[in-house]
Structure 1
């Protein structure tokens, strides 16, 4: 998960469209809840509009807001309500945040695994992706996925109908458009070769919001860990290549070698190796771009790699 800014992007016009009677969806929800038929769930539709999906897709670069997976590769996007619209699983008496079901700042794009309550295998640690899959088959699966979950800090008041002062309730889930995920989440590279896991950041105590978000969104589910680990191991390969190329270039820069190669075609080898090194570094940096899947882990790994280079 990484922070994403909506900037001054206005809400899609489709969220405020009025019907033939001049009523917005919010107007219709209010009327529905006051009617005798209010026991029937209101059919929210505005958030499903294609314009909403296109705008979210552009802002998040086609990635799930929570796990950074390219959702279009496996399934259509779920337009997710950060504060659930119809009910709250942790508070059965609460009607759900129906009054912001069509609020632009409450909508996020999500893959089905982060958004829908499903049984998933959660990963602890293993060096082999093949062994990881086999080991997890023998372990019980657990429920993960946000769905109607919206836990808040103990003692915090939950927002009541028509209240839009979000800061009044202390959400335990991270919102990538509001929070800075790296303040609460930390990627660790466990094992040899490493596996990519995410843990609550400890500063000095483990972040409660980080821990709850990992559990609810299922950020250590098997398939996700495997995909992040593939990115991690590609970075490790490129990093080793950069170090090896750097050593070769340094060796070729020795005066005795320069003198021996002067005037030969081999004299351009160092330049060609430097070009290859530069292209490799560029590819590594590109993996941390917000447009790329799992860019947060790439960003974390590159920072550690830069420190390694500085230490020599």
Structure 2
């Protein structure tokens, strides 16, 4: 996941039909006789073609969570960061934490632009996944939205601003502060992701831990894809090290300078926001530069 700037909202989210849907939701959920009964209408305002087109463009046809390209293999899931209809809530029952899908969700955010993100099906939908250590489990965000304190979960418009959310958002957070990618050539751990140490207390980042689990960022197919990208990136890193050796023995000839400049450009291409797994590649490239290129030609 990388941080991006939220663009202006598409026109359909301010249309008359969208406002009618919002008015209907407000009328339903502010009527105390309905209790927690789900709104009987159909959420449709967020499904505009311009919403899908804008999300695809802003995120370069990549999943907002795992940075895999979805454009070539699957339709875009317009994902609600905070679930719209129902949400998984935690309760303590007989001393045990029980998770239960309950209504209502964050209905007032159903067509709010900041709450809409592009997702691949593996990050968004609950599916059986191969995980590290040979584990298999159902993973994928679906209606999950963990918070640090269930008693402080938002239940009305405006309360979400003070909610202690645990999931990373690409417009609101700096994911590299919470996520670290494992670089271990030849190991099954190559391409895995782990939570960075917390900056506000002992242990790992709580947002990093929750995001890895909920977005299924450790599923083996995704880890393998990141590892393959790392192998491609390393081939350029090796070439640069060879060029540095040649420069140290031959001096900076015009040919070596041109090849060196070309390879630096290749590194930056791996880190471009349009490239897959660019957060991981940026981490590796920045570390390589600190180690090998502090005094580069």
**TM-score, length-normalised on structure 1?**
0.82
Whether contact under 8 Å (1:156, 1:169) holds in the other structure is no
Structure 1 position 272 matched with structure 2 position 227: no
- Alignment match, 2:146: 151
Q: Aligned partners of 2:3 and 2:71: how far apart in 1? A: 20
Q: Which one of 202, 211, 214 corresponds to residue 212 of structure 2?
A: 214
Structure 1 position 288 matched with structure 2 position 249: no
Structure 1 position 28 matched with structure 2 position 24: yes
Q: Aligned partners of 2:244 and 2:148: how far apart in 1? A: 50
Q: Which one of 176, 183, 194 corresponds to residue 189 of structure 1?
A: 183
Structure 1 position 115 matched with structure 2 position 124: yes
- Alignment match, 2:64: 65
Q: Residues 147 and 122 from structure 1, CA distance in 2 versus in 1: closer, same or farther, beyond 3 angstroms?
A: same
Whether contact under 8 Å (2:85, 2:104) holds in the other structure is yes
Q: Equivalent residue of 1:195, what SS? A: coil
Q: Aligned partners of 1:311 and 1:279: how far apart in 2? A: 18
- Alignment match, 1:266: none
Structure 1 position 2 matched with structure 2 position 11: no
Whether contact under 8 Å (1:287, 1:295) holds in the other structure is yes
Q: Equivalent residue of 2:267, what SS? A: helix
Q: Equivalent residue of 2:248, what SS? A: helix
Identify the range of structure 1 (299-308 vs 181-190) with the bigger mean alpha-carbon deviation. Answer: 181-190
Q: Aligned partners of 1:23 and 1:173: how far apart in 2? A: 28
Q: Equivalent residue of 1:57, what SS? A: helix
Q: Residues 115 and 231 from structure 1, CA distance in 2 versus in 1: closer, same or farther, beyond 3 angstroms?
A: same
Q: Aligned partners of 1:158 and 1:164: how far apart in 2? A: 11
- Alignment match, 1:227: 225
- Alignment match, 1:245: 243
Q: Equivalent residue of 1:89, what SS? A: strand
Whether contact under 8 Å (1:32, 1:42) holds in the other structure is no
Q: Aligned partners of 1:99 and 1:39: how far apart in 2? A: 13
Q: How does 1:255-270 map to 2 (within 5 A)?
A: 270=253
Q: Equivalent residue of 1:10, what SS? A: coil
| 1:284 positional shift | 0.8
| 1:74 positional shift | 1.3
Whether contact under 8 Å (2:89, 2:150) holds in the other structure is no
Q: Which one of 109, 114, 117 corresponds to residue 105 of structure 1?
A: 114
| 1:62 positional shift | 1.5
Whether contact under 8 Å (2:197, 2:204) holds in the other structure is yes
Q: Aligned partners of 1:155 and 1:173: how far apart in 2? A: 14
Q: Residues 294 and 271 from structure 1, CA distance in 2 versus in 1: closer, same or farther, beyond 3 angstroms?
A: same
Whether contact under 8 Å (2:132, 2:220) holds in the other structure is yes
**TM-score, length-normalised on structure 2?**
0.86
| 1:252 positional shift | 2.2
Q: How does 1:50-89 map to 2 (within 5 A)?
A: 50-89=49-88
Who wins on radius of gyration, i.e. which is larger? 1
| 1:42 positional shift | 2.7
- The runs of 5 or more residues in structure 1 that have no matched partner are 125-138, 255-269
Q: Aligned partners of 2:261 and 2:294: how far apart in 1? A: 20
- The runs of 5 or more residues in structure 2 that have no matched partner are 91-100
- Alignment match, 1:308: 291
Q: Equivalent residue of 1:189, what SS? A: coil
Summarize deviations over 1:169-208 as a string: whole Å, max 9, x none: 1011111111111121111213536711110101452111
Summarize deviations over 1:86-129 as a string: whole Å, max 9, x none: 101225444001111011111111111111111111135xxxxx
| 1:23 positional shift | 5.3
